[in-house]
Chains A and B, each alone.
Chain A
């Protein structure tokens, strides 16, 4: 449906696109993170693109993930970057959509913020930072948005223990220690 978007993207910014794909009617372009900002600016301003409506931004943690039909020998998890950040964009004018995916390594999960182009991404990038620990460079106010300031770690990462609690307050006759259920989520 939006194949012409991918074609235009490859034509004008072919060096920034790692690969493209299509799933369930949505076109996806994997973008290198150092060229993300200029690609996004071009997508917003170019008359044939005009992506004026930001839909969502989120992240995926691929820790220990292996596709069902492939043997582990294909080494998906070996050289695979741990995080993927997704930006879904939509154009009200041309009625087409595209998803930008940026792959990030575990050691350095940072990428340029797009909230300067689409202000609606501001809080969603904060949520992504809050839940996954992705750092957005040049974000105006990168703080936790849902969890409290005292919270340690990033709860939606796959290696966050499932039963781990970080209580702010407890009754005087109860211990403040986090509840630990042995064998549940302890990596």
Chain B
């Protein structure tokens, strides 16, 4: 995709933004400033507090503040069991977050339902929202969570998060529909 001669500056910038250098820079910025929204429903919340507290210190990796508003956060941490009754609320919180956004399933209940295989528990929050990184454990050790954060940071840097891939896909589809065939 070369830069055409007759383009405005904004169009130029938009195409430039799709190219690797700026994308790398913005992803570098994103991965070191994750603002998490802890959707805490169960006992894994204790472990989240431990990770966010001074001993294990999630802030070392830039995930400094838990923001309790989905509008201001870009990492949704689903911490604990999700019931079927909570599904609409979780989906709504996820939809309210601004792009790009990432989701971590914290603990085995949020990942698969855990041992709650019954009428009320949802078999993993990925039934409702796309999940980028799963952390098993009941509850997971803080080291596992830090490891997951690092995996997620790699994924953000290489642009492989769900919402990043979706945005790229939508851009390609839009470009194809507009006649700019991208091969």
Chain A residues packing against B (C-beta within 8 Å): 146-148, 155, 160, 162-171, 174, 179
Q: Per a CB cutoff under 8 Å, which of A147, A162, A174 touches B85?
A: A147
Complex CA–CA separation, A32 to B111 (angstroms): 48
Q: Per a CB cutoff under 8 Å, which of A148, A160, A171, A174 touches B84?
A: A148
Q: Could you say which of B84, B118, B119 has the most chain A C-beta atoms within 10 Å of its C-beta?
A: B119
- Check if A167 sits within 8 Å of B119, measured CB to CB: no
Q: Which of B107-129 contact A (CB under 8 A)?
A: 117-120, 122-123, 126-129
Query: Could you say which residues of chain A place their CB within 8 Å of the CB of B130?
Result: 171
- Check if A165 sits within 8 Å of B123, measured CB to CB: yes
- Check if B119 sits within 8 Å of A165, measured CB to CB: yes
Beyond A168-B88, A171-B130, A179-B123, 15 extra complex contacts between A and B, CB < 8 Å = A148-B84, A155-B118, A155-B119, A160-B119, A162-B117, A165-B123, A166-B84, A167-B84, A167-B127, A168-B85, A168-B87, A169-B88, A169-B128, A170-B87, A171-B127
B71 at the interface (CB under 8 A from A): no
Query: Could you say which residues of chain B place their CB within 8 Å of the CB of A166?
Result: 84, 119
B60 at the interface (CB under 8 A from A): no
- Check if B84 sits within 8 Å of A168, measured CB to CB: yes
In the complex, which residue of chain B has the Cβ closest to the Cβ of A153? Answer: B119
Q: Per a CB cutoff under 8 Å, which of A147, A162, A163, A170 touches B128?
A: A170
- Check if A171 sits within 8 Å of B119, measured CB to CB: no
B169 at the interface (CB under 8 A from A): no
- Check if A174 sits within 8 Å of B120, measured CB to CB: no
B91 at the interface (CB under 8 A from A): yes
**Interface majority SS on A: helix, strand, loop or mixed?**
loop
Q: Per a CB cutoff under 8 Å, which of A146, A155, A171 touches B129?
A: A171
B11-24 contact mask (Cβ, 8 Å, vs A): 1 or 0? 00000000000000
19 contacts between A and B (CB under 8 A): A147-B120, A148-B84, A155-B118, A155-B120, A160-B119, A162-B117, A165-B122, A166-B84, A167-B127, A168-B85, A170-B87, A170-B127, A170-B128, A171-B126, A171-B127, A171-B128, A171-B129, A174-B127, A179-B123
Complex CA–CA separation, A146 to B130 (angstroms): 27
In the complex, which residue of chain B has the Cβ closest to the Cβ of A166? Answer: B84
Q: Which of B81-105 contact A (CB under 8 A)?
A: 84-85, 87-88, 91
Complex CA–CA separation, A101 to B85 (angstroms): 32
In the complex, which residue of chain A has the Cβ closest to the Cβ of B91? Answer: A169
Query: Could you say which residues of chain A place their CB within 8 Å of the CB of B122?
Result: 165, 167
Distance between A102 CB and nearest chain B CB, rounded to angstroms: 26
Q: Per a CB cutoff under 8 Å, which of A155, A160, A164, A167 touches B87?
A: A167
Distance between B40 CB and nearest chain A CB, rounded to angstroms: 20
Complex CA–CA separation, A97 to B119 (angstroms): 34
In the complex, which residue of chain A has the Cβ closest to the Cβ of B92? Answer: A169
Complex CA–CA separation, A167 to B123 (angstroms): 10
Given contacts A148-B85, A169-B87, A169-B91, contact A164 B119 (CB under 8 A): yes
Distance between B139 CB and nearest chain A CB, rounded to angstroms: 24
Q: Could you say which of B84, B91, B117 has the most chain A C-beta atoms within 10 Å of its C-beta?
A: B84
In the complex, which residue of chain A has the Cβ closest to the Cβ of B130? Answer: A171
A-B complex: 10 closest residue pairs judged by Cβ atoms = A155-B119, A169-B87, A169-B88, A148-B85, A168-B87, A169-B91, A167-B84, A168-B88, A170-B127, A168-B84
